[in-house]
């Protein structure tokens, strides 16, 4: 047995002591490591609170439900501060904005057979062992019992992974499975869809059955969700990020929205100024183009397919715009930032879901003469180690 004092919370949300990661611990706590890996809290922190999820001790999803919100928010803001400082950047960093809202509108569940029964849930931290769930309290109310519904697909597809989205008009399921659905089992799918207001079931990227297209409201438009399309985890997160983006555009009249996806920013930007949206996701761009046919009163909005990793907009192309919005995947937008560094674009609004890639890209832009203003961290994935941020870069 070993006794340790937790020094701090690491980047992945675990307590750290003498180089060891101690899950579900807090700074200042005295803990004892038992034989077999169990952890006993000998002296709890005054910042410790009771986790509200009954699966907290085993589930690998939310790591920080046991921490009081004030120090938790300061730690999460600190992740952004530290990432920027490591790149030699020390801009003003705003307090963390809570964007959990009503909960997450998407969930990715695993379905496995345990003791002869099909069950669904998340994996235990650092393990492939399933933690079965009856409900998940961090999801929007319509998805709280999604694990029970997802488990029913086990009898049809065997072990599988189930992604479910709460669209405006029902639930959208995307299943990854090795086993094909037997023809005789197909008849049982439609009653399941009717009973639980399921709009569509897709398997391995292909639509198996659809009662109606799953729809989502993005700003002024209703957009049909392609299978597997990216969507911000919470509606509050989307609104918060979009509000920050719009607030940073200033007097720009021509805007490029890069890594635009379904257009959550572009559609809102087009309510007041012209915008061109670019993304490599063909179905997403097609859905945005289709949605535009049914929206009135927008400024010109063009949507184009383009792989911005392999073919970033050139400095000459970028110079046609007054402002550029970047919202890349976790890997960041390194190639596009090098092109922006050589451009004359006056304003760059960067949205990121990874503080490390944000800081790397920020260093590229500031080295080229951009000034990084206040950066705002956004907490869309509450109780996890994930933090998003929005920053404005302006030319001197």
- 95 and 144 fall within a common domain: no
Residue 129 within any structural domain of the chain: yes
- Encoding tokens for residue 45? 């922190």
Active-site pick, 62, 160, 337, 353: 353
Query: Cα 266 to chain center, whole Å?
Result: 18
Q: What's residue 181's pLDDT?
A: 77
Backbone angles phi, psi at 149, to 5 degrees: -70, -40
Cα–Cα distance between 169 and 342 in angstroms, integer?
A: 45
Query: Cα 320 to chain center, whole Å?
Result: 30
Cα–Cα distance between 44 and 48 in angstroms, integer?
A: 7
Q: What's residue 176's pLDDT?
A: 96
Residue 285 within any structural domain of the chain: yes
Instruction: Report, as an integer, the average pLDDT of 295-313.
Output: 97
- 111 and 95 fall within a common domain: no
pLDDT at 60 over 80: no
Give the C-alpha distances (Å, rounded to integers) separating 1 from 42, 52, 97: 13, 30, 41
- 314 and 280 fall within a common domain: yes
Q: What's residue 180's pLDDT?
A: 81
pLDDT at 185 over 80: no
- 187 and 282 fall within a common domain: no
Residue 53 within any structural domain of the chain: no
Task: Enter the pTM of the model.
Answer: 0.95
Cα–Cα distance between 112 and 157 in angstroms, integer?
A: 10
Alpha helices by DSSP H, listed for the chain, are 69-86, 146-151, 154-157, 183-186, 189-195, 235-247, 266-269, 282-292, 315-318, 334-341, 355-367
184's CB contacts (< 8 A; 6+ apart) are none
Residue 221 within any structural domain of the chain: no
- Give the count of beta carbons closer than 10 Å to the beta carbon of residue 132: 20
- 263 and 371 fall within a common domain: yes
CATH of the domain at 114: 2.40.50.1070
For CA atoms 156, 139, 10, 371, the dihedral sign is positive
Residues in a beta bridge with 209: 201
Task: Grade residue 253 by pLDDT with cuts at 50, 70 and 90.
Answer: very high
Residue 222 within any structural domain of the chain: no
- 320 and 242 fall within a common domain: yes
Residue 390 within any structural domain of the chain: yes
Domain end among 182, 214, 246: 214
Alpha helices by DSSP H, listed for 164-222, are 183-186, 189-195
The two beta strands, 170-177 and 198-203, are: parallel
Q: What's residue 145's pLDDT?
A: 85
- 94 and 120 fall within a common domain: no
Task: Grade residue 208 by pLDDT with cuts at 50, 70 and 90.
Answer: very high
- Encoding tokens for residue 199? 């709009």
* pLDDT tens sequence across 342-389: 999 999 999 999 999 999 999 999 999 999 999 999 999 999 999 999
305's CB contacts (< 8 A; 6+ apart) are 278, 279, 280, 281, 282, 285
Domain end among 155, 181, 214: 214
- 243 and 321 fall within a common domain: yes
Residue 67 within any structural domain of the chain: no
Domain end among 184, 214, 244: 214
Tally of domains within the chain = 3
135's CB contacts (< 8 A; 6+ apart) are 144, 145, 147, 148
Residue 224 within any structural domain of the chain: no
- Encoding tokens for residue 321? 């715009």
CATH of the domain at 34: 2.40.50.140
CATH of the domain at 286: 3.40.50.150
- 173 and 252 fall within a common domain: no
Q: Which of 73, 139, 69, 84 is nearest to 109 (CA)?
A: 139
* pLDDT tens sequence across 120-151: 999 988 788 999 999 999 999 999 889 999 99
Q: What's residue 35's pLDDT?
A: 80
- 239 and 378 fall within a common domain: yes
- 286 and 166 fall within a common domain: no
Cα–Cα distance between 174 and 150 in angstroms, integer?
A: 10
Using DSSP's 3-state secondary structure scheme, residue 338 falls into helix
- 20 and 164 fall within a common domain: no
Range of the domain at 21: 2-48
Task: Grade residue 10 by pLDDT with cuts at 50, 70 and 90.
Answer: very high
353 is catalytic: yes
What is the overall mean pLDDT for the chain? 95
């Amino acid at each position: 047995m070993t006794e340790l004092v937790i020094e701090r919370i690491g980047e992945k949300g675990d307590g750290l002591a003498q180089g060891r990661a101690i899950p579900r611990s807090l700074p200042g706590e005295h803990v004892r490591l038992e034989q077999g890996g169990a952890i006993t809290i000998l002296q709890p922190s005054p910042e410790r609170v009771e986790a509200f999820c009954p699966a907290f001790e085993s589930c690998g999803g939310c790591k920080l439900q046991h921490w009081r919100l004030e120090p938790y928010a300061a730690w999460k803001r600190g992740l952004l501060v530290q990432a920027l400082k490591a790149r030699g950047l020390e801009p003003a960093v705003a307090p963390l904005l809570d964007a959990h809202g009503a909960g997450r509108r998407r969930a990715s569940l695993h379905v496995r057979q345990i003791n002869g029964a099909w069950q669904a849930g998340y994996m235990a931290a650092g393990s492939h062992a399933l933690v079965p769930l009856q409900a998940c309290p961090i999801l929007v109310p319509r998805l709280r019992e999604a694990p029970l519904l997802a488990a029913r697909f086990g009898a049809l597809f065997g072990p599988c992974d189930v992604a479910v989205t709460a669209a405006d008009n029902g639930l959208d399921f995307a299943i990854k499975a090795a086993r094909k659905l037997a023809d005789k089992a197909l008849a049982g799918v439609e009653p399941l869809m009717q009973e639980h207001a399921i709009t569509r079931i897709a398997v391995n990227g292909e639509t198996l059955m659809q009662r109606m297209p799953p729809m989502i409201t993005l700003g002024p438009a209703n957009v049909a969700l392609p299978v597997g399309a990216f969507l911000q985890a919470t509606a509050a997160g989307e609104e918060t990020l979009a509000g920050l983006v719009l607030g940073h555009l200033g007097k720009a009249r021509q805007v490029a929205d890069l890594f635009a996806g379904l257009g959550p920013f572009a559609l809102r930007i087009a309510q007041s100024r012209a915008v061109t949206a670019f993304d490599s996701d063909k179905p997403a761009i097609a859905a945005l183009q289709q949605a535009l046919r049914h929206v009135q009163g927008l400024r010109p909005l063009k949507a184009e397919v383009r792989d911005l990793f392999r073919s970033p907009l050139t400095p000459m192309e970028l110079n046609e715009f007054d402002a550029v919005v970047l919202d890349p995947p976790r890997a960041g937008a390194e190639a596009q930032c090098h092109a922006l560094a050589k451009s004359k674009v006056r304003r760059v609004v960067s949205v990121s879901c990874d503080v490390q890639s944000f800081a790397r890209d920020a260093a590229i832009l500031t080295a080229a003469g951009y000034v990084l203003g206040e950066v705002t961290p956004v907490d869309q994935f509450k109780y996890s180690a994930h933090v998003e941020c929005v920053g404005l870069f302006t030319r001197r």
